[in-house]
Amino acid sequence: LTLQKRTPDTNHAGKGDFTTVYPASEDSFLFLDCLDSQADYLRQKLKPSVSVEIGCGSGVISAHLVQHVLSDSSGVSGSSCACLCTDLNPAAALCTAVTCCQLMPVASDLAGCLRSGCADLVLANPPYVPTPDDEVGTPGIAAAWAGGLEGRRVIDRLLTEAERLLRPTPQLSAFYLLMLRENRPEEVALEMRCRGFKSMLVVERHCAGENLSVWRFERGGVEESEFRVF
C-alpha cells in the first residue's frame, strides 16, 4: 500500500492561545511542495543531522519535513535529524510544539540562541510583505508578514544568519528561502553567490495574488550543473 501524505494538523494556529500565530496558508503549502520535490536530494545527498527553521509560526514546515520528507517508505520518521525551530513570537514556539512533538522550538529573534555552524539545513518562510519599517517585529500577528521596505528587512538579516548557522565548507549544507517577486529574489541569489553559495530556483507559483518562489542556496560539495547561475 502507498501511504498518502497528510498535511500536518495546524488547526490550533490562529485560535485560542495561538491567535497571534500565522496559520498555514498558500505560502506554507508552496514550501511543503518544495520540500516534497527535494525529498531525494534531502534524504540521499544532504542527509541532514540538524535542521533549523527560522520563523516557524505554526510549525507546519518542519513538521512536514520530519513526518514525511525525512521519513522512509513505511512512514517511519527520520529521527536522526534534530529539527530545531525558532520564532520571535513565544506563542508560535508553543504552537509548533503542539503541532509536532518531534520538533524542538524556542522563542528567539532569528536564531541568535543557536551556535554558529550547528546546522546542515536551514529553512525560512520569513515576513516578506512590503510594509512600513516600523511594522517589522511588532507584537501581534502582523510580525508574521511585515517585511519592511521592499519586504527585505528580515530577509537581509536572514542571509547573514543562515550563513552563520550552516556548517563550514567543505561540508555540504543548504538554505531554503521563500520570497515574493517584490523582494527581488535574483538580487538575493547574487548576494548569496558573493557569500560562496550556489543558487537554485526550486519552485515558483502565483498564489492569492502573489508571485512566490522558494530558492535553495547550497554551499560545499555541489555540482555546478545542478544550478542556475545569476
Parallel, antiparallel, or unpaired: how do β-strands 210-219 and 82-87 relate? unpaired
Helix (H, G, I), strand (E, B) or coil at 107: strand
Tens digits of per-residue pLDDT, 155-208?
Answer: 999 999 999 999 999 999 999 999 999 999 999 999 999 999 999 999 999 988
Helix (H, G, I), strand (E, B) or coil at 33: helix
Tens digits of per-residue pLDDT, 24-38?
Answer: 999 999 999 999 999
To 10 degrees, the CA torsion angle through 4, 92, 54, 29?
Answer: 30
Give me the CATH topology for the region 23-226: Rossmann fold (3.40.50)
CA distance 147 to 106: 21
CA distance 171 to 89: 32
Specify the pLDDT at position 85.
98
Contact criterion met (CB below 8 Å) for 77 and 67: yes
Average pLDDT for the chain: 91
- Does 1 have pLDDT greater than 50? no
Tens digits of per-residue pLDDT, 9-27?
Answer: 999 999 999 999 999 999 9
Helix (H, G, I), strand (E, B) or coil at 65: helix
DSSP H or E run through 87: strand 82-87
- Does 228 have pLDDT greater than 90? no
- Does 215 have pLDDT greater than 50? yes
> At residue 153, what is the residue type?
R
State the residue for C-alpha cell 491567535: 19
Tens digits of per-residue pLDDT, 88-137?
Answer: 999 999 999 999 999 999 999 999 999 999 999 999 999 999 999 999 99
Nearest to 82 by CA among 38, 36, 29, 121: 121
Specify the pLDDT at position 230.
47
One DSSP character per residue, 138-158 reads -SSGGGGTB--GGG-HHHHHH
CA distance 99 to 72: 20
Entry field: residues in the chain: 230
Specify the pLDDT at position 140.
83
Helix (H, G, I), strand (E, B) or coil at 92: helix
Specify the pLDDT at position 38.
97
pTM of the predicted model over 0.85: yes
CA distance 8 to 2: 18
Specify the pLDDT at position 207.
84
